Amino acid sequence: MRAVRSTVIGLSTVWLLATAAGAAAQPAESARFGFGRPATETEIAALDIDVGADGAGLPAGRGQATDGALVWARSCAVCHGASGEGGTAGPVVGRGHGRPTVGSYWPYATTLWDYINRAMPRNRPGTLSADDVYGLVAWILAKNEIVGDTDVMDAETLPAVVMPARDQFVPDDRRGGPEVR
Amino acid sequence: MPKNPRPTSRLSRRELIAGTVGAVATAPLAAQQQAVETTRRPGRGPNGLDQRSPFVTPRRDPSPTSSRTPLQDLQGTITPADLHFERHHGGVPEIDPDRYELLVHGMVDRPTIFTLADLKRFPAVSRICFLECSGNLRRGSAETLPQMVCGLTSQTEWTGVMLSTVLHEVGAHEGATWFLAEGQDAAVMTRSVPMDKAYDDAMIVYAQNGDALMPGNGYPARLLLPGWEGNASVKWLRRIELSDRPFMTREETSRYSEPVGEEGQIRQFSFVMDARSIITEPAYPTTLEPGWHEIRGLAWSGRGLITRVEVSVDGGASWADAELQAPVLPKAHVRFRHSWRWKGGPAEIMSRATDETGYVQPTWEALRAARGPRTRYHQNPVTSWTVGDDGRVLFGVERLRS
- A114 has a chain B CB within 8 A of its CB: yes
Percent of chain A with pLDDT over 90: 75
User: Which pLDDT value is given to residue A96?
Assistant: 66
Mean pLDDT by 10 residues, chain B (402 residues): 41 45 69 96 96 97 95 98 97 98 98 98 98 95 97 98 98 98 98 98 98 98 98 98 98 95 91 98 98 98 98 98 98 98 97 98 96 91 97 96 78
pLDDT, one tens digit per residue, over A137-172 is 999 999 999 999 999 999 999 999 999 999 999 999
Distance CA(A31)–CA(B167), nearest Å, equals: 12
Residues facing B349 on adjacent strands = B385
Distance CA(A142)–CA(A104), nearest Å, equals: 14
Best mutation site among A14, A170, A173, A175 for testing chain B: the one with the most B CBs within 10 Å? A170
Domains observed in chain B? 61-256 (3.90.420.10), 276-400 (2.60.40.650)
Task: Judge whether B354 and B306 are in contact, CB under 8 Å.
Answer: yes
Tell me the average pLDDT of chain A: 86
Nearest chain A Cα distance for residue B255, angstroms: 9
b/e A85-100 (16+ beta carbons within 10 angstroms → b): ebeeeebbbbeeeeeb
pLDDT for residue A30 is more than 90? no
Distance CA(B196)–CA(B211), nearest Å, equals: 29
Task: Provide ipTM, 2 decimals.
Answer: 0.89
A50–B253 C-beta distance less than 8 A: no
Q: Name, in order, each residue with C-beta under 8 angstroms of A157's C-beta and a sequence gap of 6 or more.
A: A151
Query: What part of A 48-77 touches B (C-beta under 8 Å)?
Result: 48-50, 52-53
Kindly report the pTM of this predicted structure: 0.90
User: Which pLDDT value is given to residue B138?
Assistant: 92
Query: What part of A 22-41 touches B (C-beta under 8 Å)?
Result: 31-33, 35-39
